[in-house]
Amino acid sequence: MGQQARSPLPRRIGVLGGTFDPVHIGHLRGALEVADVLALDELRLVPNARPPHREQPQATPEQRLAMVEQAVQGVFPLHVDGRELLRSQPSYSIETLEAIRAELATDDQLFLLLGWDAFCGLPSWHRWSELLWHCHIVVLQRPDADSEPPDALRNLLAARAVSAPAALQGPAGQIAYVWQTPLAVSATQIRQLLANGKSVRYLVPDAVLAYIEAHGLYHAPN
Ligand code: ATP
């Protein structure tokens, strides 16, 4: 009797969106920690094209993408997914997740990582109730945060939340919290330091610092 090829184990893929203007150690350390908790095979950092009515990033899409590429090069399991920057108009998260899901095997597990504030704003997202068809949602919760969800999310949490990330089953459809103490660093702070002529060494990886300096990014106009 011929032996049947065994299908490989389902892959575990995480998605972390952000403006990354610029990417910094808060993003990167947080990404590694959550990748470890979820035992991810791959964690994709997805730079967002910011919608026209919001404050525009200072660096160009190409520069933001290049900095994330430099930051994650050779670092397992971090990767960059530039698809939102390659479109001519800002994409909705649901479209990005549909596109990524379409590229995966049916039983691969997809995890959308959202900070608590982003999660609370979910009901205002385009086609938000379809997100769980394609992925699990992992809420990055800080120990000191107010943990009362808005009313619009109460029923969803009651139906879909599991007790721990390890309890997330199947390719999509559930919600879990990961508790994380963020490093006290933000892209806003980094841009301000640079605009004031200060150093951001050690707040960003050395390769990102070199890129910022080589391209004269975030400096106040002379
Ligand atoms: P800005 O200061 O320009 O608003 P930011 O530093 O908050 O930017 P974003 O690109 O908006 O960075 O972040 C994308 C995601 O990265 C956030 O939703 C959050 O989940 C995560 N993140 C941002 N800063 C940190 C941090 N210091 N520690 C851990 N995770 C972070």
Phi/psi-derived region of residue 187, left when phi > 0, alpha when psi is between -120 and 50, beta in every other case? alpha
What pLDDT is stored for residue 7 in this prediction? 65
Opening angle at CA 27, ends 26 and 30, nearest 5 = 80
How far is C-alpha 82 from the geometric centre of its chain's CA atoms? 12
CB-facing half-sphere around the CA of 60: CA atoms within 13 A: 7
Mean pLDDT for the stretch of residues 81-88: 91
| Digit-coded pLDDT (tens) for 24-83 | 999 999 999 999 999 999 999 999 987 666 788 899 999 999 999 999 999 999 999 999
For 11-135, list the strands marked E by DSSP.
12-18, 42-47, 78-80, 109-115
| Digit-coded pLDDT (tens) for 190-217 | 999 999 999 999 999 999 999 999 999 9
Pocket test for ligand 1, best of 56, 113, 186 (most atoms within 8 A of CB): 186
| Digit-coded pLDDT (tens) for 163-200 | 999 999 999 999 999 999 999 999 999 999 999 999 99
Q: Whose CA is nearest to atom 31 of ligand 1?
A: 27
| Cα 140 to middle of ligand 1, angstroms | 11
What's the N-to-C CA distance of the chain in angstroms?
77
Contact 77 CB / ligand 1 (< 6 Å): no
Those residues with Cβ within 8 angstroms of residue 14's Cβ, 6 or more apart along the chain or in another chain: 34, 35, 38, 40, 42, 43, 44, 110, 111, 112, 113, 138
> Taking 60 as the threshold, does the pLDDT of residue 2 lie above it?
no
CA distance 57 to 51: 10
CA of 183, closest atom in ligand 1:
27
Query: Can you give the pTM of this predicted structure?
Result: 0.94
What pLDDT is stored for residue 90 in this prediction? 80
Whether 20 and 67 have beta carbons less than 8 Å apart is answered as: yes
| Cα 26 to middle of ligand 1, angstroms | 7
Confidence of residue 138 (pLDDT cuts 50, 70, 90): very high
